[in-house]
Amino acid sequence: MTNITNKTNLTNSFLSLLEYYPSPVWVRNTKGKYLWVNEGFLNFFNVTQDQVINKSNEDFFPQDITDKCYQSEQQVLEKRHPITFYFDEKKYRATVYKTPIFNENNEIEALAALMTDLTPVLEIETKLNSTKCFYQSILANMGEALLFINAKGEFEVVNKKGEEFFDKLGFYGSRTFDSWYEFFLKNYDKETGKVYTNDNSIMLKALQGEESLNEEITMITKNGSKITFRASAIPFKDKSSDSPLGVIMTVTDITNEKHMLKSIEDKKMLIEQRNEELHHFAHCAAHDLQDPLRNISLAASMMEANLHEQNYDEISVLLKRLLKTASYGSSLVKNLLDYSSANQEIQLEEICLKDIIDHNIDILSGTIAQADANVIYDNLPNVLGNSQQLKIVFQNLISNALHYKNKKLSPPIITISATKKDSFWEISVQDNGSGIAEQYHEIVFHPFKRLIADVNNRSSGLGLSICRRVIEQHGGKIWLETKSKPGACFKFLLQPF
């Protein structure tokens, strides 16, 4: 221990007490020279007695620390009473208590100082801040909304997804449970059939200590659409008292998931329907193909018999029947090929519907002229489609309108028009023919279904089935308008280009 002047009021016994005090303690004279330091000082600053005693701060401390020490000591000398000041550096933090030492004449002859090392506190704070930043980053970027509602009913924590969730719904009220619950009761989708009351509110139950997991809820957003989400509310409890301190709530938007599941279910039903149709198609196709072949075979046999008898008039009648049957068989085979191609993947491009109609009118010009019919169309849009397939659709619909004309109404009038409906063009093909009874509006689209048996002019029964397949391949749907008098009105949806 280094002795200091006998004029000080400090005794050697008191210095002995501070010698092994773990924190740095020192005494300096009024000129800034170190008179005494303890082991804690030497260990903390990693210096020796020889480097410190009778030396100034400038001899072994950085300039910034030296300046701070000088300023604080000047305050002690000027005010003649103790002061406390702080070191708050990047590497360490400390509190320093400095007091004047008076002689018998009440003059300051030295200053004593005791330093408390707060570096461990700084390290803890740094770790806590790092941990806080880590969890804040996780909360901010997690894929689901997270909300913490404290025991007072205040939304204390709302992460980024939570803010997006509130914004999507249009909830801009005060961040309290009462405000949210009032908003929720007005905006949840009541068409789901579930009625939310205090008894089944997952947040209220959680505030009372009851856990609720994976509750599916549908709400109306601020733009009028529906959003379905899966919510869980878990009580956050005090471990000592087991009383709820608040509620942790997670919200996951599953709207797309629900739509995907619905789409998968629809596709599954469509596949089942298509398999059933395929089975029916194969049966009917075999039956309908056998019919013309049987008639051709029968006509040929009868012609052979009449050749022996040289009955040429009967042979002429049989020959006409044979040619007509062969023509029907050829038409049936063509329609079977069209039906098959309607199931294949097609290339879509910009199509001018006016050009499609012009082409069909040219192909059917003879039939149109024979029926003295009039096809009216104007202002038809460009759509996303396949030219060849759409030609088949309009050819079938125009041919049907000509074939099933109302003989009491002359001449036949076919009107083709387009109306914009949401994100589609709704195309209408209206005729003034005999019409189709409402109970047959779905049946007519089934393969090989013929509502009128015409032995003189048989159809394949595939025309409207082909139309449906083509329109579905284009991402639309086709149907018969229920309130269409007189005649029939076919409507279908096509995507705009």
- Reported confidence tier of residue 305, pLDDT bands at 50, 70, 90: confident
* CATH code for the part of the protein at 345-497: 3.30.565.10
Average pLDDT over residues 117-131: 77
Residue 296, pLDDT > 90, answer: no
Tokens of 48: 């020796």
The yes or no reply on domain 12-122 and CATH 3.30.450.20 is yes
Spell out the residues 6+ positions from residue 338 whose beta carbon is closer than 8 angstroms to its own: 392, 462, 466
Beta bridge partners of 237: 244
Q: By the 8 A CB rule, do 385 and 348 touch?
A: yes
Q: By the 8 A CB rule, do 478 and 471 touch?
A: yes
More confident position, 5 or 256? 256
- Quote the pLDDT of residue 454: 46
Average pLDDT over residues 381-400: 89
247-287 pLDDT, tens per residue?
A: 999 999 999 888 888 888 888 887 887 777 666 566 555 65
- Quote the pLDDT of residue 457: 45
Residue 244, pLDDT > 80, answer: no
- What percentage of the chain has pLDDT greater than the value 90? 25
353-389 pLDDT, tens per residue?
A: 999 999 889 888 888 888 889 999 988 999 999 888 8
The secondary structure element, H or E, covering residue 379 is: none
- Omega of the bond leading into 486 within 30 degrees of 0 (cis): yes
Which homologous superfamily does the CATH classification assign to the domain defined by 142-253?
A: PAS domain (3.30.450.20)
Rounded Cα–Cα distance for residues 236 and 308 (Å): 104
The percent of the chain in helix, strand and coil, each rounded to the nearest 5, is 45, 25, 30
How many Cα atoms sit within 13 Å of 412 on the Cβ side? Answer: 27
Beta bridge partners of 93: 88
Between 5-14, 104-113, 383-392, 426-435, the lowest mean confidence (pLDDT) is in 5-14
Residue 46, pLDDT > 80, answer: yes
pTM: 0.43
Mean pLDDT in the chain?
Answer: 82
- Reported confidence tier of residue 312, pLDDT bands at 50, 70, 90: confident
Could you tell me how many residues make up the chain? 497
Within its chain, how far is the Cα of 360 from the centroid? 44
